[in-house]
């Protein structure tokens, strides 16, 4: 199967959807501020290599526990933030597109469905607690997830904004680095 693989944040989405979602949720409930002390400590521990990125992200997404109806919240979020999908991506046909992202599946599902993307592979996070179910979908883990989902695939094109996606770049026939609205062929 021939596919095109896209990273999400910074690549087809102008910014970081997780940060934008937190700010959006904070505007709904100031109680979300309560996660900041623990998140800050965990981020520092990650910086000095005493915590994993997954644990830091779990402390970040723990704000989800303050919401009962995340489904409605996500509808409202994407109604406001879908305008941050970059123009170059909106102009493409998405029937062979697989978005592979470190962002949570629950956060990206609705926008991927709206864009009619073929498939989404992302970090599995419990929408009620913020706890990760498995490993953060980043770097080599993106290839592991593709291999698990598809028995045989060929990456025709990949688009990313980060060198952390080097494993995808190496597998792709063509690779593009996206910085804001500039797209540069790197392979």
What is the predicted pLDDT for the residue at 151? 85
What does the pLDDT average to over 51-80?
Answer: 95
Classify 186 as helix, strand or coil.
coil
Q: What's the confidence (pLDDT) of residue 92?
A: 86
d(CA 60, CA 38): 8
Instruction: Tell me how crowded residue 2 is: count the other CB atoms within 10 A of its CB.
Output: 10
How far apart are alpha carbons 147 and 39 in whole angstroms? Answer: 32
Average pLDDT over residues 64-71: 95
For the stretch 169-187, pLDDT in tens is 999 999 999 999 999 999 9
Share of the chain above pLDDT 70, in %: 100
- State the DSSP code for 173: S
The mean pLDDT of 154-165, rounded to a whole number, is: 97
Q: Does the global pTM surpass 0.85?
A: yes
| Segment 45-56 mean pLDDT | 94
pLDDT for 93 equals 85
Residue 111 sits at φ, ψ, to 5 deg, of -70, -35
DSSP 179: E
Q: Which CATH architecture has domain 2-185?
A: 3-Layer(aba) Sandwich (3.40)
Q: Tens digits of per-residue pLDDT, 51-64?
A: 999 999 999 999 99
Domain ranges of the chain: 2-185
pLDDT digits 0-9 by tens, 3-40: 999 999 999 999 999 999 999 999 999 999 999 999 99
User: What digits encode the pLDDT tens for the residues 104-137?
Assistant: 999 999 999 999 999 999 999 999 999 999 989 9
pLDDT above 90 for 65: yes
Alpha helices in 29-165 (DSSP H): 36-47, 53-61, 70-81, 87-90, 105-115, 140-149
Cα(184)–Cα(53) distance, rounded to whole angstroms?
Answer: 29
């Amino acid at each position: 199967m021939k596919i095109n693989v896209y990273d999400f944040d910074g690549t087809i989405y102008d910014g970081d959807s997780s940060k934008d979602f937190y700010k959006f949720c904070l505007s709904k409930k100031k109680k979300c501020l309560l996660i900041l002390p623990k998140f800050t400590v965990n981020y520092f521990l990650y910086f000095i290599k005493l915590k994993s990125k997954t644990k830091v992200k779990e402390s970040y997404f723990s704000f989800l526990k303050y919401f009962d109806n995340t489904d409605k919240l996500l509808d409202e979020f994407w109604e406001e933030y879908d305008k941050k999908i970059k123009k170059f991506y909106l102009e493409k046909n998405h029937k062979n597109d697989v978005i592979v992202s470190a962002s949570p599946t629950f956060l990206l599902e609705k926008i991927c469905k709206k864009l009619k993307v073929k498939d989404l592979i992302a970090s599995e996070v419990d929408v009620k607690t913020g706890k990760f179910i498995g490993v953060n979908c980043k770097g080599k883990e993106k290839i592991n997830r593709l291999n698990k989902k598809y028995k045989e695939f060929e990456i025709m094109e990949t688009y990313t904004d980060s060198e952390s996606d080097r494993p995808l770049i190496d597998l792709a026939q063509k690779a593009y680095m996206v910085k804001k609205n500039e797209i540069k062929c790197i392979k």
